[in-house]
Structure 1
Amino acid sequence: MSSFSNNFKLSALSAAIIAASSASFCAQAADGKSAAVLEEVVVSGIRRSLTNAMDIKRDSYGVVDAISAEDIGKFPDTNLAESLQRITGVSIDRSNNEGNQVTVRGFGPSFNLVTLNNRQMPNSSALQSAGISRSFNFREIAAETVSGVEVYKTGKANISSGGLGATINIKTAKPFDFDEFTAQGSVKAVMDTSVDKGDDVTPEISGMVSNTFADGKVGVLASFSHAERDYHVDRIGTSGNWGRGYPGQANPDTSAIDTSRNPTLATWRIPTVDVDLADYQRERQNGQLVLQFAPTDKLTATLDYTASRLEERGAMNRMSFWFDNVESGAADVNGTIINPSRTNDELNFWAWEYGFETENDSFGLNLEWQATDNLSFTLDAHDSTSHANPGALPAERLANLKNPFGSAAPVTIAADFSGNTPSVSYDDSALPGGAYDPANIEADLYQQRGYEIENNIQQIQLGGRWENTDEGALKAINFGFAQTSYDVDSTEITSANFALGGGAMDLSDLDLSFVAGDIGFEFIPQFSALQFIDLAASQGLLNPINKRRNGISEDTDSIYLSFDFETTFNGMAVNANIGLRYEETDVTSYSLTNPVIGFNWITPLEMSKIFADSEAADTLTGAYDHFLPNMDFSLDIREDLVARVSYSKTIARSNIGAMFPATSLNNHFATGPFRASQGNPNLLPFESENLDFSLEWYYAEGSYVSAGYFRKKVDNYIATAEEERIIEGPNGPLTNPSANPRPGCPDGSVAIPVAACTSQPGDPAITWTVNTPLNLNDTKVDGWEFNVQHMFGETGFGAIFNYTMVNSDDEFDIYSLDNDFALQGLSDSYNIIAFYEKDAFQARIAYNWRDDFLLNGGGGGEPTFTEEYNQLDISASYDFSDNLSVFVEGINVTDESTRRHGRFTNQIKDYEEYGPRFNLGLRAKF
């Protein structure tokens, strides 16, 4: 790992600033007014936790919401994302019955910056389906190690850029937060009702020890957590997209289409129908070691190390069939082919295996120096890395079996999409013994794929604050400098063989069995993808693993200056923070691949890529700069009534995967379509001008009502531009060997190609549809946030209700075929929370609702919508003493399911059931 001295080379501008100010930036000391509140020690109990969060909101500049731990090691929910969804304007997306990423005011995970103790944190993932994202996944950090979370909804000059929706800061404890020896520990039994294979009850253990020595001059804190979870997912759905071209259909019945909504008589079909059974195991460790040293009252040094380890394993089996094309079927009123069918086809028997690790490590140093009574400085530096799938092994392995394909043994397949979930039917009477007879099942294909990603962030922040002790409206000047080096190196891992049928592979040693099926499939297969691939390897059918490397480096220098004002107007207190942040960013991206030189036509459908023997590199650069102002004003109309107005400009940087320069050949079936994509390292960040108004009435201790209006005008929104063009390989244009078939083709395999079935210079050049991301669009988003928090006197009862409305003109129009641009993640949401806290007993019930939203699509392609979802969670605890308590938690206690669909509701993508989850545990503190 390179040193700070090599990675943080100061520009002339940076050196001049440091020389002039002697120090700079500290996002941690945001402003004197709010910093005094944000440094409060963690409090106990639901009421105190909510009151503390309310005080942060009341006393901060701009619009800030917060969650505080109810006690040491006791956060309101088992998952940070689940806690954040209780904040007005924050909603979450769930994966496997667990919150994993957040949307703020309609802006999804990639538009929100997540920091840990005000430090920008890296992220990585090994699965191709997850892509390469900047957005932090909250499941990787244990809630027990967190003391609080702050959500900054308005931009601040002294906060790192990158949060267009919000900047979310996760806080952890330090030894000087506690006056004496402190220890906490909890043990929890997790009871997942969905488990089919695995342990019904798994452990979660956490602990923290902190102490100070040498008359409070030295402090040490160590925390650790270990969590295991086994769970099962039942899924009914489809794969691929509901498309207007593939799988094709000649002369569909369109008589039922409503031409007032669909005047072109467009029709949509889906390639597959699936039913899945999946079992997963997850193990997570978090640890933190913090050392603090205060040699004088004016100087404090903090050295910290934070680590997390996440290991995931999973196995899935799928029963399916694939419409290579649709021969017959009628459209419904919207144009969805609801009863597709095809003769002379096959059933498919799938197996998946998942396995990967993610290692996160962060080393940090923080120095706080009170130079004079008026002037203080802070230095903060960290080196943090997230490494997914070390060793670059495939993270996902899948295999498929099928019935023998051909006129001698046809299977007729059909589906019905007229209801909430699909049903299937098939005629396998031409197969003696039927489609599930092992004698009628042969190998088809295997694939291995995944990423190894290493994301490193090195950041140094120097900050200063001058406080005015004399009379006057100016109370403080904050100034700072930061330098951030953001590096991502990814290795994409792929290997496949699509030509294992026709007796090419011997399956006699494969352990294949069946369990009861669903939606019309008689059975669901049970076999291991790993065993299948091992058998392929033993028979010489395993193709080499292809690795493609991509990377990006972003170096950002930033400076800021802000002023805090406090004055009065007509007897009303006025507070203001006015600031400006300037940033310069240089971008370098690279792709290192074995380029494609042609195609190998293996089966009637499959054309595999032929790669060059040597690697070729593409390198491109980009640069941009931004001025990011903010102005926050608050007026105490009276002591308990506060009005706010804020203006700010914020940015969010483009997705990493969109900035790699290489061209990816995505679809290349012999029958088409031929689709490719190319990244663009010159993409500019999304830039938003934000305006906020709010009125807040703090009418009693722990109780308040607030209403706020927000508007965001976003420029540089990324849209996809399509271009029809021929792609050049090292030896000339890429050509299509299936366009004018030569005798005997298709034939051969990936490992042993037949020369006549490979691309030749005389073959027709392929015309590709190439997608390239460009900064093309702008949009406006506005909405309202309402929140009521009320404590019912000394009864112990309390309640919270909040509601968020989000609107935009750029929503997906399901009746338009020209949705070149639509906002993803836009949805209304609300929370209803009731609690009781009296003496030794605490109880809480929390209901969350989120409306349907566009999950992906809208860039010229077909959409995926996540349907509205509600979830009910409960928790209760009893304190046997000041040191020992017992607790119980229930997550998704009403067993809600998740459903996703395409353009219309009957175009199902996923219907998933997880089951409730319950936790029972003990917590002790000293």
Structure 2
Amino acid sequence: MRVHNKSTIHTNRSQLSVAITRVILGATLATLSLQGMAQSSDQLEEVVVTGSYAKSLEKAIDIKRNSIGFSDSIVATDIADFPEQNLAEALQRMPGVTIERNKGLGSKVNVRSLPSEFTHVSINNLSTASGSGGRDVEFDIFASEIIQSVTVKKSPTAADEEGGIAGSVLISTARPFDYNESKFVVSAEGAHNSISDEIDPKVSLLASDTFGDFGALVSFSMAERTNRTDSNSGINFRPLSRWTEKTGSSKWQADQTVAVLERDTGVVITDRFNKDVTNRVVFHDKIGDRAYLNEQDKWGATAAFQYQPSSTFSLAFDAMLGGYDNTEDEYDAAAYTASSISALETVHAYDNTTLAKHGILVLTDVSYAATQHEFLSKENVHETDFTQYSLNMDWEIGGWLIEGLAGYSGAEKTSDTSNLKHVAFAPSRSRYTNNGGETLLSANPNSFDMYNSPQKYLFDSYEVNLEEIQDDKYAAQLDFIKPLELNFLSALDQVQFGARYTDKSKERDRGTTTVRGPKAGDNSWRNVRTLQDSELTPISELVPGGNYLSQSSNSPSWSQVSNSYARDTFRYDGFKVDFADSEYYRVDEEVVSLYAMADFKFDLAAMPVMVNTGVRTVDTSVLSFGYHQIQNANGSTGYTPTPISKEGSYTDVLPSINMNMELRDGLILRAAASETLMRLALGDIAYKRTVSLNDFKYRDGNPDLKPTYADQWELGLEWYVGEGALFAASYFEKKIEGVVRESLTGVVKDVTKYNANGTIDGVYDFEIYQKVNAEGDYDVSGVELIAQFPLSMLHESLDGFGINANYTMLDNSLTGESDLDIPAPPEGLADETYNLTFYYENEKFDARVSYNYKDKYVEYIASDMYPVYRDAYGQTDLSLGYQVTENIKVMLEGINMTDEETSAYTIDPSFPSMYEFSGRRISLGVRADF
């Protein structure tokens, strides 16, 4: 068993970092020891809004109006009263905010249509750990009920920990002195999914009270979710170079492929090794019919203990705990047309016009010589534990306001994924359909019914992958704020300065064990045991809800091995997964930040003006390490006996300015400019090498990567009409530098590549790719519009009705990473998003209908060449509530009421790659508020 000791690896810790940490913590403790000097006074003003959606919108407007920069907020009522399955879905109704969905569940947050990794997330002013390999936060692990408020900050100040190129999501949990009286809230609901036909429970509660100078609050939420998704997917492009480069005994594949292409399409390939030509002739990689069953158990809890003897002193301890267990069963009946022993047999149809500007010929209907038909039973078990603790102090003494923070955020994620694979090689015919693809019998007499011939499928392997990720972050911050009244400079209202130290570490271990027999090292099942030898279950019984929702003309139905049977049968006694040196990495990052800023208030031609300006210096050191590949004396490849480390560092100076001017009562001109950065995905800077056999590539981490920077400015006009009404428009521009791209940095010659059955596929030159900072800069600009108003402004008969709408449009010069230089925006960037909510409420009844739209965006670059787009998606949600008594409310909520499908395509909609249904979700609940 490997044991990694941070104290032996991380030996170059910055002395400056240690010194500043001691100063910060020492000052914090010294300050806390003087807490008895604080004078008593009245409690702080209550900030929580409950019970009315319209009033929650008014509170959010107040927060926006009083902010120095551009921001938008939602508060507890808005979060609680809308139908959502997690925190990500609660945020999607905010201006400029959209979400990425995974099988019907919101998972990641995009701000202003920019990729999710451009957004910085913090909870209670502490940057949040994640169980992913990057810095993006997995919002699906957080229950929305334990959140008090969320602010999306779109223009940073110098005091912020990070600005985020897209923005910062600031999440706050509740504290006892947020309420001016004791509070107890409990809710319960049951939700029904239209495809799985299951009913899922969810319960939550919050209890808070104050006892003189002390207060305590606890909240808890627990939910189960069972969701079925039927998908016709995995239909990506595969370049003809898959076969044209075959040599030796496999050269017949290249010869036959080139000959059939010329015979049936007239296209002549003169140089079979010219990738610029062969990569532009593409066919189906795989066509799969897939049924998913996703089962989630999620819980979250917060605790807050607050000591507040006066309005001048507050000490708060916040704890946030959570667990998210996600088990997904995936059952595939797939035809892998690009199998290693196949070739073209007949091209029935092709498209040489749709993608002609890229020089791409698409073979849309083809018979293949030896398709690898696959039945795959996949089980993906993910368990995430989240922990966060923070101690916050606010102390006003001697005309100074001192704020202190010390905290920890951590996430542990364990993933156990398995794949039981049975294969049968035979001729087949595959073609595109309107929404995906289908596999049929070909004219070859050896072709067979792939769905109903279990005796023809041979056991290939049962592969189990185990991954463990540990993500830890420690932080300490101390801020000093001094309000001023200077006769010689009356405009200077306040100065503020401070320091922050963070220590972040992410460690990943991963290993694979492949079973091919009843015990370790035994391969006796391979190519002997058939699919028929295992217990088979119809697909309509493997997942609840009945028949598979096929999108192909042959309406397949099939039987295969359940994941529970596979786990019991193929994980023999003594089965284990050892971690592989090649998969290990760890990244340690230390950041020391110092900042200073000033607030100015003055009148310009009788118009009140507020200005915040400041500068932040950031000193970052990175220590990245992993086991590195070496050449052994016998010519084989291996890895170093201990991790090899490499350091990286960078220092930045980040200025910012925010201002607003009240042109007249309620009409505010707002402006902001700043330089900000987004730090790198830790997996990209990890000092390691991984291999992608199908792509003939090695991928190396790069500890020398620098962050992505943005120079940005924004100008907006906001009109606060009263009665909870707001009309706003803003224009923003961002010049982004240092965008991270994957680049060819070397070649490893004469690499022997093996097939799954152990035979030699061939000897190839493998390219080495590494993430680098691209040269030059890219421009992103956009417009954001907000209209939020009660319809009683138009006519008194519309009292109780209202609209909350926002729209974001983006224009950009960013391009994706296609090796064929196919122009496309970066992954995750959409040109247009909007949210529209109609609501009505009175003392007894409230209703809301919300529509959220996100334009198409690049989901990934297949084979690093062909952009795959997630199609534009719009979803309608519904919420109805009835106040039975003063304290009890009944709610009926619906998600995806029009049962929209999720689809994707490669480069052009003519070539669909995925079409999936996750169904609608209806819930009935009750909430008691005392």
Same fold (TM over 0.5): yes
CA change 1:37–1:686 in 2 (3 A) is farther
Aligned to 2:737: 715
Paired residue for 2:39?
none
Q: Give 1:444's aligned residue.
A: 460
Aligned mates of 2:350, 2:61 — CA distance in 1: 54
1:867-886, aligned counterparts within 5 Å? 867-886=871-890
- Give the Å deviation of 1:840: 1.2
Q: How far does residue 817 in structure 1 lie from its aligned partner after superposition?
A: 3.9
Match of 2:565 in 1: 531
Structure 2 counterpart SS, 1:250: helix
Q: In the alignment, does 2:416 pair up with 1:395?
A: yes
Which whole-Å CA distance do the structure 2 matches of 1:102 and 1:185 have between them? 28
Shift of 1:89: 1.7
CA deviations 1:693-731 (Å, max 9, x no partner) are 00111123211211100000011111111144227xxxx
**What do you get for the CA RMSD once the two structures are aligned?**
3.6
Could you tell which deviates more after superposition, 75-84 or 835-844?
75-84
1:318 aligns to what? 332
Q: Which amino acid aligns with 2:408?
A: D
Distance 1:71 1:513 in 2: 44
- Contact kept in structure 1, 2:511 and 2:577, CA below 8 Å: no
Q: 1:765–1:871: structure 2 CA closer, same or farther, 3 Å change rule? A: closer
Q: CA 1:564–1:397 in structure 2 vs 1: closer, same or farther (change >3 Å)? A: same
**Farther off after superposition, 38-47 or 801-810:** 38-47
Retained in 2: the 8 A contact 1:73–1:185?
no
What's the CA shift for 1:766? 4.7
The 1:38–1:768 alpha-carbon spacing in structure 2 relative to 1, beyond 3 Å, is farther
1:356 aligns with 2:360: no
Q: CA deviation at 1:503?
A: 3.5
Partners in 2 of 1:219 and 1:593 — Cα distance?
53
Say which SS state the counterpart of residue 239 (structure 2) adopts.
coil
Aligned residue identity for 1:166:
G
1:462 aligned partner, one-letter code: L
Paired with 1:531 and 1:255, the residues of 2 have a C-alpha distance of 47
Please tell me the residue identity of whatever aligns with 1:382: G
CA shift in 2, pair 1:208/1:593, >3 Å: farther
| Cα shift readout 1:222-243 (whole Å, capped 9, x = no counterpart) | 1111100111010001266543
3-state SS of the aligned residue for 2:140?
A: helix
Q: Which among 815, 838, 841 is matched to residue 837 of structure 1?
A: 841
> Equivalences for 1:766-785 in 2 at 5 Å?
766-777=764-775, 778-785=777-784
Judge which range, 232-241 or 883-892, deviates more. Answer: 232-241
Please name the residue that 1:231 is paired with: 227
CA offset at residue 541 of structure 1? 10
Letter in 2 for 1:416: R
SS in structure 1 at match of 2:478: strand
> Is the 1:242–1:268 Cα contact (8 Å) retained in structure 2?
yes
Alpha-carbon distance between aligned partners in 2 of 1:162 and 1:57, rounded to the nearest angstrom: 17
| Cα distance change of structure 1 residues 319 and 337 upon mapping to structure 2, 3 Å threshold | same
Matching residue within 189, 209, 222 for 1:211? 209
Alpha-carbon contact 2:700-2:769 (below 8 Å) kept: yes
Correspondence for 1:461: 477
Contact 2:377 2:419 in 1 (8 A): yes
User: How far did 1:914 drift?
Assistant: 0.7
1:305 Cα deviation after fit:
1.6
Given the alignment of the two structures, is residue 584 of structure 1 paired with residue 606 of structure 2, yes or no?
A: no
Conserved in 2, the CA contact under 8 Å of 1:505 and 1:536? no
Q: Deviations over 1:256-314 (max 9, x none)?
A: 99xxxxx9793222321000111121000101111112345533211222100001112
Alignment equivalent of 1:896, drawn from 869, 894, 900: 900
SS at match of 1:338: strand
Letter in 1 for 2:786: N
Matched, 1:384 2:409: yes
Counterpart amino acid of residue 167 in structure 2: A
Aligned to 2:250: none
Percent identity of the aligned residues? 24
TM-score by length of 1: 0.85
Whole-Å Cα distance in 1 between the matches of residues 13 and 55 of structure 2? 44
1:114 paired residue number: 121
* Structure 2 letter corresponding to 1:417: Y
Q: CA deviation at 1:830?
A: 1.2
How far apart, in 1, do the equivalents of 2:891 and 2:690 lie?
52
Check the 8 A contact 1:864/1:901 in 2, yes or no.
Answer: yes
**Contact 1:467–1:476 under 8 Å retained in 2:** yes
Contact 2:454 2:532 in 1 (8 A): no
Partner Cα separation in structure 2 for residue 571 and residue 87 of structure 1: 33
Distance 1:20 1:356 in 2: 40
Aligned AA (1:370)? E
What's the counterpart of residue 157 of structure 2?
156
Matched with 1:660 is 686
Query: Residues 131-210 of structure 1: matches in 2 within 5 Å?
Result: 132-161=133-162, 163-195=164-196, 200-210=198-208
> 1:217–1:453: structure 2 CA closer, same or farther, 3 Å change rule?
same
Query: Offset of 1:135 from its aligned partner?
Result: 1.0
Partner of 1:481: 499
Counterpart of 2:94 in structure 1: which amino acid?
A: I
Is it true that 1:414 corresponds to 2:433 in the alignment? no
- Aligned CA distance change for structure 1 residues 51 and 800 (closer, same or farther; 3 Å): same
- Residues 1:694 and 2:720 are matched in the alignment: no
Q: What residue number does 2:605 align with?
A: 570
How far the C-alpha of 1:82 sits from its partner, in A, is 2.2
1:758–1:184 CA distance, 2 compared to 1 (3 A): same
1:101/1:137 contact within 8 Å kept: yes
Matches within 5 A, 1:11-30: 11=17, 14=20
AA at the equivalent of 1:65 = D
Look up the match of 2:512: 494
Matched to 2:66, the amino acid is: D
Question: In structure 1, what is the equivalent of residue 49 of structure 2?
Answer: 42
What displacement does 1:908 show?
A: 2.5
Listed one character per residue, the Cα deviations across residues 166-222 of structure 1 (whole Å, up to 9, x for unaligned) are 0001111101111222100001111111216xxx11110000111111xx2011111
Task: Give secondary structure in 2 for the equivalent of 1:870.
Answer: strand
1:143-177 CA distances to partner (integer Å, 9 max, x unpaired)?
11111110010121111115111000111110111
What does residue 726 of structure 2 align with? 704
Change (3 A) 1:587 1:39: farther
Partner residue of 1:604?
none
Cα separation, partners in 2 of 1:788 and 1:296, compared to 1, 3 Å: closer
Whether contact under 8 Å (1:25, 1:482) holds in the other structure is no
Q: TM-score, normalised by structure 2?
A: 0.85
Deviations 1:629-655 (A, max 9, x none): 111111111112111111011110111
Q: 1:331 matched to which residue of 2?
A: 350
Deviation, 1:535, is 3.8
User: In structure 1, which of residues 366, 369, 373 is the aligned counterpart of residue 392 of structure 2?
Assistant: 366
**How is 1:60-99 mapped onto 2 (pairs within 5 angstroms)?**
60-70=67-77, 74=81, 77-99=84-106
Q: SS at the partner of 1:81?
A: helix
Letter of the 2:514 partner, please give it: A
- SS where residue 246 of structure 1 aligns? helix
**One-letter code aligned to 1:626:** D
Q: State the SS of the aligned residue for 2:77.
A: coil
Residue type of the alignment partner of 1:14: I
- Deviation, structure 1 residue 616: 4.1
Indicate the structure with greater helix content.
2
Work out the number of aligned pairs and report it.
852
Partners of 2:674 and 2:857 lie apart in 1 by 27
Q: Which moved more, 1:574-583 or 1:528-537?
A: 528-537
2:283 alignment partner, SS class: coil
Q: Which residue of the partner structure matches residue 124 of structure 1?
A: 131
- Please point out which of 299, 304, 312 is paired with 2:313: 299
Deviation at 1:466, TM superposition (A): 0.6
The separation in 2 between residues aligned to 1:62 and 1:95, in whole angstroms, is 33
Unaligned runs of 5+ in 2: 33-42, 245-256, 268-275, 356-360, 517-522, 540-546
Give 1:80 deviation, angstroms: 2.5
- Equivalent residue letter for 2:500: A
